[in-house]
Amino acid sequence: MAQSMLLYWGSGSPPCWRVMLALEEKQLQGYKHKHLSFDKNEHKCAEVQALNPRAQLPTFKHGDIVVNESFAACLYLEVKHTRGVACDRGAWRVTEGRDDVAFYEWYVPEGERHDSALKRNKESLIAELKLWEGYLEKMGNGSYLAGKNFTMADVVCFPVIAYFPRLHCPPERCPRLMEYYQMLKDRPSVKASWPLE
Ligand SMILES: N[C@@H](CCC(=O)N[C@@H](CS)C(=O)NCC(=O)O)C(=O)O
């Protein structure tokens, strides 16, 4: 089954990592894959564009079925392969979370951070982080994002959360999420799919 799957991926991309994690968790390690360089614009190649007109990664193919969206690919794997990690009741709720909070300071040049619209945006992103912190707080120590078990919610969100320390997001801003990060960073599927860069 895994042999008929092909993933085009780029390193450092949370959406790509999401699909790789799902494949690991579903014990589909034999899948075929092509690593393309964003820096060299390899993701714009004809091979990818033939499958994905947006020329973005991940681009995922299973037999004749093409899935060009990381959440959709995780859901597809969940439906097709019930073994391994599951998406239990409520698990998808947390996918409402936004990842921009980690990226704000990285993408927005320091000199532009005084802009009031950007400031408002930052405030709303910090409120979002508090919401995530609240979910974890409520569920108690050692919880995954949707409860006591690792689920597809973790597959979908961990690659984004893992960027917080990579981008030097102050840990005191999200202590629960950082505890969660520490708990998951050595999980075999996470280690096996850890980004190259
Ligand atoms: N919503 C898409 C987003 C995919 C996406 O934005 N991929 C980025 C890498 S993280 C990409 O291919 N960027 C290159 C480009 O847009 O040219 C998903 O979750 O799969």
Ligand 1, atom 15, residue with closest C-alpha: 56
CATH number of the domain to which 188 belongs: 1.20.1050.10
Task: Say which residue, 54 or 96, is predicted with more confidence.
Answer: 54
The boundaries of the domain holding residue 19 are: 2-80
- pLDDT recorded at residue 76: 92
Handedness of CA 99, 80, 10, 161 (dihedral sign): positive
Half-sphere exposure of 1 (CA within 13 A, CB side): 8
Q: Is residue 148 part of a domain?
A: yes
Q: Is 159 in the pocket of ligand 1 (CB under 6 A)?
A: no
Strand residues in 31-152 grouped as ranges (E): 32-35, 59-62, 65-67
Q: Give me 73's structure tokens.
A: 């690919």
- Residue where one domain finishes, among candidates 44, 61, 80: 80
Ligand 1, pocket-test mutation among 37, 42, 56, 66, most atoms within 8 A of CB: 56
> 186 and 108 in one domain?
yes
Residue 103 has pLDDT above 60, yes or no: no
pTM of the full structure: 0.86
Q: Is 59 in the pocket of ligand 1 (CB under 6 A)?
A: no
Q: Is residue 179 part of a domain?
A: yes
- Closest to 44 (Cα-Cα) out of 61, 57, 62: 57
Ligand 1, atom 1, residue with closest C-alpha: 69
Q: Is 52 in the pocket of ligand 1 (CB under 6 A)?
A: no
Q: pLDDT digit string (tens) for 128-152? A: 788 888 889 988 999 998 888 898 8
CA distance 186 to 166: 15
Residue 138 Cα to ligand 1 midpoint, Å, equals: 32
Q: Is residue 151 part of a domain?
A: yes
Residue 58 Cα to ligand 1 midpoint, Å, equals: 7
Cα–Cα–Cα angle for 39, 42, 16, nearest 5°? 80
Half-sphere exposure of 133 (CA within 13 A, CB side): 14
CA distance 24 to 94: 21
- Residue where one domain finishes, among candidates 80, 103, 118: 80
Q: Is residue 36 part of a domain?
A: yes
> 123 and 183 in one domain?
yes
CA distance 138 to 126: 18
